[in-house]
Amino acid sequence: MSAGCHDTGGTDATLIAAPRIALVGAPNSGKTSVFNGLTGLRAKTGNYPGVTVSRFVGTSRTGSHRHVIEDLPGTYSLEPVSPDERITVDVLDGRQEGADRPDALLVVVDATTLRRSLGFVAQVLARGLPACVVVTFTDELARRQGRLDIDAFAQALGVPALPVVGHRGLGIGQLREQLTTWRTWPAPAVAPPTDPDEREAWAESILAFAGYRPPERHRVTQRVDAVLLHPVWGTAVFFAVMAVFFQTVFTVAAPLQDWVEALFAWLSGLVDAHVGNPWVSGLLADALIAGVGGVLVFVPQIVLLFLLLALLEGVGYLARAAFLMDRVMARFGLEGRAFVALLSSFACAIPGIMATRTLPSARDRLATMMAAPLMTCSARLPVYVLLIGLLVDPSAKLGPFGAQGLVMFGLYLLGAVSAMLAAWVFKKLGDRHGQAVPFFMEMPPYRLPAPRAVLVAMGSSARTFLRKCSTVIVATSVVLWLLLNLPLHSDAQLRAAGVDTTDSVAVSAYTVDHSYAADLGRLVAPVFDPLGFDWRINVGVLSAQAARETFVATLGQVAAAEDPEKPEQALRTMTYPDGPRAGEPVFTAPTIAALLVYFVYALQCMATVAVLRRETGTWRWPMTAFTYLTVLAWLMAYLARTATVLLGG
Amino acid sequence: MTASGGVHEEAGGRGPTVMDAAPRSLADLVPGARAAVARVATDAAPAVVRRLHDLGFTPGAVVEAVRRAPLRDPVLYRVKDYEVCLRRAQAACVHIVEVER
């Protein structure tokens, strides 16, 4: 590693003058590992083609030298066919907004695919920026009986070249030293040819000079793929992997979630017992602690899901899954990689939408993004659990299966099928204009992912989710609590309304019934009346507009206000307070069915809207998604209610 | 067209034994079979032509069909020491001359 670490301070002059070095290379070239090695910054690494999807900038320090390192999106060519590749080319040409043209380039190439990669190196060197070639996976090349003389390779190219084994950190120190001399990097004596055929001959001559022997086939990959991509066994393993995937996410996480719930219940109890002022204790226990707890309860599940995705990705299985699913996805106008994006959406639509960046076709990306919010994300789960609990008797069975589980499965299925149909419609609409992008996908050899890389990938995804929750959900639950508890009523007002002021339950029930939230819920009643929702459900649905899981917290707050001892019971026995249905129970089968279906379709997640805006660069698509999903939600909920009524529910 | 004609001859003359002179494409290659790329169809979309070239399907390159997906599409090919899958529609753009194993 680099020596003089004592002088990391650096003066202001060196800070300002920090040279900008960009990393370019194909997807899977190990570019991200090199980036992580140089910068120590947390960034995602993996085997799935195109995993480097965001803009990553970090700093590398060597002695008093400081370099700004930018990890550009992976590309096979400087003739872009996808938005990601376009960004790389635009940065290299200094045309990308917000990103200065780099001072020098590190061209990352996988030693095992050099025969393909040199064409790309030629294209990059022709851009004329100072460049150094970083050769990765040299350990794998040697293991597979390949050979490359790096010094001869550098000599033939006419630019510096260094071997680096990114995930093990080998060669990173030398690369850092090399960076300090970027101003004196030699340029090729003769520029590489631009004609494709001449480029081919150029590449052959360089490899011959460097004594290159290509690697033997990767035996493990061959043997494993013979099973995992087998028409019968491969399909069986695929379904088994998916089953284990969801089993793990839902069963392994359950006890952990119970612990989180218990912890927060205990905290609330503590506040109740020790804070005298009912207002302060309410705000602390019911709004803040319940709000934070409502978010944290998902953390075990989300972290587990992201861990499994990062593992499958790191090993290389996601590329295989995309290969197996491509034909099925093609029926809906999409491609195999869209399957992976939709699979991630089972955790949360946000990583799903971000995963669409691996799709080279802009139209496929849009269609997948419009469909992703329909996949049953984990935020819907607590809502489903609560509502199914009210709808179906836990002991009811249909054959060997519990009826509750079947309803849950049906909702997941409804979401997935609707997502595929939505993708198909949006793809059809998009196909009317624009040019098709060819389908291609590299199948990397199976590689054991570095544990650190998996943890980093998992950590960054989980952080994104938590950031969304901690802000949006906690803020919503506090605002909601205030809306439900304001305005305040004096004892005189309460007595005038015939409320016994010594009965705290009666007082809080009256307060909620006459709160600002109630006004709001009654205001939108005409819209939701046909679905059978009363004002309390309306408040829940409105608050869930920010984030779905707040629905549970809202109903919890309402129910707790009406019966603090047994909120569950309060929900079951809740009746319409006024209007034509006054006195009838609220949570009847048709209403619950309508609510469930409403949650299947509605885009109730401000974070998703924000990500759609960021990913598409315009408000047009988030608005489109929001409108079509909300209208669809109302219509399907109405349909579900009508059907349930007809079935005699 | 003259350029690609020349390339065709070069690919044929470089060593591989030409078994079938009739134009065939990668889409016709059965798993396990190998062939040399003659040229990428010039009537295909420019983006397709360029990208196939960048992926290593250059004239003279030897390609092996490794395996088909369970539903027969896409197909995994081995070219220039790595594996990449293409759908039949794109594979059909790559004209080949078959080589002896």
pLDDT at B20: 47
pLDDT class of B8 with cuts at 50, 70, 90: very low
Tell which wins on pLDDT, A617 or A539: A539
- Label each residue of A354-380 as H, E or C: HHHHHCCCHHHHHHHHHHHHHCCCCCH
Residues in B closer than 8 angstroms to A441, CB to CB, are: 74, 84-85
**pLDDT score of A16:** 57
- Res B21: pLDDT: 47
Q: Domains in chain B, ordered, with CATH?
A: 2-98 (2.30.30.90)
CB within 8 Å: A231 and B70? yes
pLDDT at A452 over 90: no
Q: What is the pLDDT of residues A516-570, one digit of tens each?
A: 888 888 888 889 989 988 888 888 888 787 778 778 877 877 776 666 566 667 7
- At residue A567, the pLDDT reads 63
| Predicted pLDDT at A47 | 31
- Say whether pLDDT at A300 is over 60: yes
- pLDDT bucket at B1, cuts 50 / 70 / 90: very low
Tell me the shortest Cα–Cα distance from A185 to chain B, in angstroms: 27
* Coil, helix or strand at residue A62: strand
Q: pLDDT class for A208, splitting at 50, 70, 90?
A: very high
pLDDT digit string, tens, across residues A578-591: 667 777 888 889 99
pLDDT value of position A225: 93
CA gap A114, A214 in Å, rounded: 8
- Range scoring the smallest mean pLDDT among A182-191, A411-420, A467-476, B42-51: A467-476
Q: Does the pLDDT of residue A9 top 50, yes or no?
A: no
Q: Residue A525's pLDDT is what? A: 87
Q: Give the 3-state secondary structure of residue A353.
A: helix
Yes or no, beta carbons of B81 and A200 under 8 Å apart: no
For residue A234, the chain B residues in CB contact (below 8 A) are 70
Which residues from chain A sit within 8 angstroms of residue B11, using beta carbons?
Answer: none
Q: Among A110, A116, A148, A219, pick the best mutation site for testing chain B contact (most B Cβ within 10 A).
A: A116
Please list every residue in chain B whose beta carbon sits closer than 8 Å to the beta carbon of residue A324.
69-70
pTM of the full predicted structure? 0.79
Q: Which residues of A touch B60 (CB under 8 A)?
A: 200
The residue that leads in pLDDT, A74 or B22, is A74
For residue A182, the 8-state DSSP code is G
Nearest-5° Cα angle at A468, A463 to A469? 95
Chain segment B28-39, per-residue pLDDT in tens: 888 989 999 998
Query: How far away is chain A from the Cα of B79, in angstroms, using its nearest Cα?
Result: 8
Q: What percent of chain A has pLDDT over 70?
A: 90
Q: How far is A334 from chain B (nearest CA, A)?
A: 12
Q: Answer whether residue A200 shows pLDDT above 50.
A: yes
Which of A219, A328, A207, A286 has its CA nearest to residue A481? A286
Instruction: Give the residue on B whose Cα is nearest the Cα of A110.
Output: B82
Beta carbons of B82 and A442 less than 8 Å apart: yes
B56 closest CB neighbour out of A116, A215, A436? A116
CA distance A452 to A447: 14
Residues in chain B closer than 8 A to A443 (CB atoms): 76, 83-85
Q: Is the pLDDT of residue A83 over 80?
A: no
Residue A474 scores a pLDDT above 90? no
B80 and A440: CB-CB below 8 Å? no
Cβ contact, residue pair A438, B85, below 8 Å = no
pLDDT, averaged across chain A = 83
**B59 inside 8 A of chain A by CB:** yes
Q: In 3-state terms, what secondary structure has residue A507?
A: helix
Retrieve residue A511's tokens.
Answer: 């307060």
Average pLDDT (A196-206) is: 89
Closest CB from B58, B80, B89 relative to A113: B80
Residue of B nearest to A123 (CA): B54
Contact B54 A234 (CB under 8 A): no
How far A444 CA sits from the closest chain B CA (Å)? 7
- Smallest CA–CA distance, residue B28 to chain A, in Å, is 18
Q: Which residues of B touch A79 (CB under 8 A)?
A: 50-51, 54
Minimum CA–CA partner of B53 in chain A: A196
Question: Rounded mean pLDDT of A637-642?
Answer: 95
In the three-class reduction of DSSP (H, G, I as helix; E, B as strand; rest coil), residue A84 is classed as: helix
- Shortest CA gap A165–chain B (Å): 19
Decide if A200 and B58 are in contact by the 8 Å CB cutoff.
yes
> Which pLDDT band holds residue A405 (cuts at 50, 70, 90)?
confident
CB contact under 8 A, A196 and B80: no
Size of interface A-B (CB pairs under 8 A): 108
Full 3-state SS string of chain B:
CHHHHHHHHHHHHCCCCCCCCCCEEHHHCCCCCEEEEEEECCCCCHHHHHHHHHCCCCCCCEEEEEEECCCCCCEEEEECCEEEEECHHHHCCEEEEECCC
* Encoded tokens for A418: 């609707």
| Alpha-carbon distance B20 to nearest alpha carbon in chain A (angstroms) | 24
DSSP annotation string for A268-313: HHHHHHH---HHHHHIIIIIIIHHHHHHHTTHHHHHHHHHHHHHHH
Identify the closest residue of chain B to A215 by CA–CA distance. B81
Q: Nearest Cα to A317, choosing from A333, A347, A339, A284?
A: A339
Interface contact flag, A324 B69, Cβ < 8 Å: yes
CB contact under 8 A, A323 and B60: no
User: Average pLDDT, whole number, for chain B?
Assistant: 78
Q: Which residue has the higher pLDDT, A532 or A477?
A: A532
Residue to test with chain A: of B8, B14, B51, most A Cβ within 10 A: B51
Give the residue on B whose Cα is nearest the Cα of A79.
B50
What integer pLDDT is reported at residue A119 of this predicted model?
92
3-state secondary structure of A130: coil
Q: What's the rounded Cα separation, in Å, for the pair A530 and A532?
A: 5
Tell whether B63 lies on the interface with A, counting CB pairs under 8 A: no
Residues of chain A neighbouring B59 (CB-CB closer than 8 A) = 197, 200
Confidence category of residue A103, pLDDT binned at 50, 70, 90: very high
| Contact check, Cβ <8 Å, A116/B69 | no
Q: Where are the domains of chain A?
A: 12-216
Say whether pLDDT at B4 is over 70: no
B90 to chain A, closest Cα gap in Å: 7
Query: Chain B: nearest CA to A120, how far in angstroms?
Result: 8
* Rounded mean pLDDT, A300-308: 80
Measured CA to CA, the distance from residue A371 to residue A332 in angstroms comes to 11
Q: Note whether A441 contacts B70, CB cutoff 8 Å.
A: no
Lowest-pLDDT choice from A319-328, A475-484, A551-560: A551-560
Mutation target among B81, B84, B86 for the A interface, most CBs of A within 10 A: B81
Number of H helices, E strands in chain A: 32, 9
Q: Which of residues 36-55 of B touch A (CB under 8 A)?
A: 45, 47-48, 50-55
Q: Distance from A107 to chain B by nearest Cα, in Å?
A: 16
Is 70 exceeded by the pLDDT of residue A413? Answer: yes
pLDDT tens by residue, B72-100? 889 999 999 999 999 998 899 999 987 75
Determine whether the interchain pair B90/A436 forms a contact, defined as Cβ–Cβ distance below 8 Å: no
Residue with tokens 């009317």, as numbered in its chain: A432
**Once rounded to an integer, what is the mean pLDDT over residues A128-153?**
94
The residue among A329 and A287 whose pLDDT is bigger is A329
A2 has pLDDT over 50:
no
Dump pLDDT digits (tens) for A232-266. 999 999 988 888 887 777 678 778 888 888 888 88
Residues of B in contact with A200 (CB under 8 A): 58-60
Q: A339 to each of A142, A225, A336, A343, A423, how far by Cα in Å?
A: 35, 19, 5, 6, 11
Query: pLDDT at position B12, please?
Result: 39
Note whether B70 contacts A: Cβ–Cβ < 8 A: yes
Report the distance separating Cα A252 and Cα A256, nearest Å.
8
What is the mean pLDDT of the segment spanning A463-484?
Answer: 74
Q: Among A457-466, A479-488, A530-539, B4-13, which range has the highest average pLDDT?
A: A530-539
Cα A172 to Cα A93, A624, B63, distances in angstroms = 27, 47, 35
Q: Testing the interface with B: which of A440, A441, A447 to mutate, by most B Cβ within 10 A?
A: A440
- Test A119 with B54 for CB contact under 8 angstroms: yes
CA distance B3 to B8: 9
Q: Any CB–CB contact under 8 A between B9 and chain A?
A: no
Domain A12-216 top-level CATH class: alpha beta
DSSP A244-256: HHHHIIIIIHHHH
Are the beta carbons of A40 and A69 closer than 8 angstroms? no
pLDDT confidence band for A603 (50 / 70 / 90) = very high
- Per CB-CB distance under 8 Å, the chain B contacts of A339 are none
Q: Is the pLDDT of residue A72 over 50?
A: yes
